[in-house]
Chain A
C-alpha cells in the first residue's frame, strides 16, 4: 500500500470530536475574558446633552479596568524609577545568589566534612527563616554591627574600615539580604545539577589528568547547567517579585511606587495593573532569555536542538500550506 502518487490510498485521520468541543469551549471563554478586559461597559454616570432643544441622555461608557488611567501612569518617572530599583535588586541579588549557591553546592559535595557541614548549616538557617525577617535584619545591620572591618581576627590590626550606618545604603543592604537568602535556595539547585552529571564524565576528565578544579569548570558545571537553568529561571522570576518586600524597609521599588501614587489619588486598581503589567513585561523578556540559554546548554545532550518558536511557526505554516496545496490539487483532479 502506498500513500503518495496519484493512485495513493487516501488516509483518513482520526477525528477527535471531544478535542474539538474542548477547543470551542476554550475559545469562547477566552473571548469572554478579552471582552470583559478590553470592551467598555455602561457606567453609573449619565451624560446629557441638548440636541435641537431635546435633552438626550446616555450612560457613559467606561473600561472596567480603567485602561485610560493605566496608560496615563505607565511611563511616569516615579514608576520607571521604581522599575529600575526592582531590576537592580533582582540582578544584584541573583548574582550574589548564584555565585554563593554554586560555591555552597561545591562545598556541600566536598570530601571535607567541615566544609560540607558549614554549607549545610548555612542552607538550613537561610531557608529556615522568613526572608522578610532577614531583610529587616540586614537593613538594620548598623544596629548590631556599627563598624565592619577587614583585618586579622581577634587582634587590633585592621586594613579596611566601614561604618555600616553611613556607608551601607538600605538599598545595598536589601540586595545583600535577598542575595544571601537566595544563595541558600540556589545551592540546592546547583547541587542537583552537579550530582546529575554522570560519574563517568568525571572519571574521564580525571584520567586525562585534569585537576578537580578543571574537571568542575570544564566538564561538570557546563553539563550541570542543563539541569540548573530551568529552576534558576524560576528563581529569577520569583526574585523579581520578592524584591517588592523591600518597601517594608522604605525602598521604593516598582510596587512601592505604584502604592505611593494610589495612596495619594485612590486609583488603586489601575496602579496595581501598571505594576503588574511591568512585572509581566520583564518576566516575558526573562522567559525568552531562558529559552535561548537552555538551547545553548542543550548542545550535545539532544541529537537535534528543539526548534525556536519562529522555526516552529514556519514549520506549522509549511504543513498548512502543503495540506492546502494537496487539497487544491485533489479538487483539480476531481
Chain B
C-alpha cells in the first residue's frame, strides 16, 4: 500500500529526513516512534503531500505521490490531481483541527459533498453511522468548541473515515489529550485496526504500538534506526538509542 525508498527532505538547509525506507502492506498498522524532531511527522505529512519531499521514491497504492512518470521524466501533478489523491488518504491531527464554524455533522459531511460530490442525504446518513461508530450519536449538532478533546478527536476520525480512505494517517492523535481521555480515542483506533484499515500512526503510546501494530519503525535524526515486529523491537531493542528512548517513555 505504501512504499517509501530513500526519501529526503530538508527545511532551509536543515535535513529532516535523510533517506527513509518504509513499507506498509494493506491492512497493516504501522507505528512510527521516536524522539521529537526525529522526522516522524514530516514523513507522515509527505505521504499525503502536505509536505513535498525533495528526493526519493514515495508510492501510495503503486502510484507516485505528487508526481507522475511520463516519457522517463517526473512531472509534477496538477493541484486537482493532488487533491484527488489526497481525498483517498485520511489524516488525523494532534490538534484535531475540526472546522470551528461547522457543527459536528457538517464537519463530517462537507468533504463528502464538496470533494466526492455525494448528495446531502447520503452524506448525512453516512455521517450519522460514523458518529454512532465513534460513540457520539447525540453530538451531531454541537460545535467543536462545545466538545472535550477526546470527543473532538473521535469526530476528527469520523470526518476522515467519511471519505472512504484506503489509508489512514494519525499524527500523534492522543498527544494533546488529557490522560483520562486518551483511552477513548485509542479504543476507536483499535476498533478501526481490527476492521482491517491500513494505518500509519505517529505516536508516543508504546502500549498501543505493542498491542495493535503489525510493525514498528523507530526514527531518530531523520533515519530509521530500527524496525520490525513490535514484540521484538520493543521488547529487545538492539540499538542503544532505542533502548535509551524506551527507558524515557515507558
For A209, the chain B residues whose CB sits under 8 A away are 83-88, 111, 115, 163
For A13, the chain B residues whose CB sits under 8 A away are none
Dominant secondary structure at the A interface: helix
Residues of A within 8 Å of B, CB-based: how many?
24
Across the interface, do A204 and B99 meet the contact criterion of CB distance under 8 Å?
yes
Query: With A208-B159, A209-B84, A209-B86 as given contacts, are A299 and B99 in contact (CB-CB < 8 Å)?
Result: no
* A184 CB, nearest partner CB in chain B, Å: 28
* B35 CB, nearest partner CB in chain A, Å: 23
Binds B, one of A75-83, A118-126, A270-278, A300-308: A300-308
Tell me, in angstroms, the Cα distance from A303 to B145 when the chains sit together. Answer: 6
Does B91 sit within 8 A of A, measured CB to CB?
A: yes
Tell me, in angstroms, the Cα distance from A212 to B160 when the chains sit together. Answer: 18
For A331, the chain B residues whose CB sits under 8 A away are none
Across the interface, do B83 and A201 meet the contact criterion of CB distance under 8 Å?
no
Question: Which B residue's beta carbon lies closest to that of A225?
Answer: B101
* B23 CB, nearest partner CB in chain A, Å: 22
Tell me, in angstroms, the Cα distance from A299 to B145 when the chains sit together. Answer: 10
Question: Which B residue's beta carbon lies closest to that of A299?
Answer: B101
Choose among A203, A205, A219, A302 the residue that contacts B145 (Cβ–Cβ < 8 A).
Answer: A302
Question: Which B residue's beta carbon lies closest to that of A207?
Answer: B91
Tell me, in angstroms, the Cα distance from A302 to B163 when the chains sit together. Answer: 28
For A302, the chain B residues whose CB sits under 8 A away are 145
- Best-buried of A209, A212, A297 by chain B (most CB within 10 Å): A209
Tell me, in angstroms, the Cα distance from A223 to B145 when the chains sit together. Answer: 14
Query: With A208-B163, A209-B115 as given contacts, are A300 and B102 in contact (CB-CB < 8 Å)?
Result: yes
* A69 CB, nearest partner CB in chain B, Å: 51
* A328 CB, nearest partner CB in chain B, Å: 39
Tell me, in angstroms, the Cα distance from A33 to B235 when the chains sit together. Answer: 83
Query: With A207-B50, A300-B100, A301-B145 as given contacts, are A218 and B114 in contact (CB-CB < 8 Å)?
Result: yes
Does A149 sit within 8 A of B, measured CB to CB?
A: no
Does B7 sit within 8 A of A, measured CB to CB?
A: no
Choose among A200, A208, A211 the residue that contacts B80 (Cβ–Cβ < 8 A).
Answer: A211
For B86, the chain A residues whose CB sits under 8 A away are 206-209
Chain B 64-103, CB-CB to A under 8 Å as 1, else 0, gives 0000000000000001100111111111010101111111
For A222, the chain B residues whose CB sits under 8 A away are 101
Does A210 sit within 8 A of B, measured CB to CB?
A: yes
* B46 CB, nearest partner CB in chain A, Å: 13
Does A214 sit within 8 A of B, measured CB to CB?
A: yes
- Best-buried of B86, B101, B160 by chain A (most CB within 10 Å): B101
* A197 CB, nearest partner CB in chain B, Å: 9
* B94 CB, nearest partner CB in chain A, Å: 9
Does B239 sit within 8 A of A, measured CB to CB?
A: no
Tell me, in angstroms, the Cα distance from A309 to B80 when the chains sit together. Answer: 47
Chain A 263-290, CB-CB to B under 8 Å as 1, else 0, gives 0000000000000000000000000000
For A303, the chain B residues whose CB sits under 8 A away are 143, 145-146
- 11 of the cross-chain contacts (CB-CB < 8 Å) are A200-B97, A204-B91, A207-B90, A207-B160, A210-B83, A214-B114, A218-B114, A299-B101, A300-B143, A300-B145, A303-B145
Closest 10 CB pairs of A and B: A209-B87, A204-B97, A200-B97, A300-B143, A208-B111, A207-B91, A209-B115, A209-B86, A300-B101, A300-B100
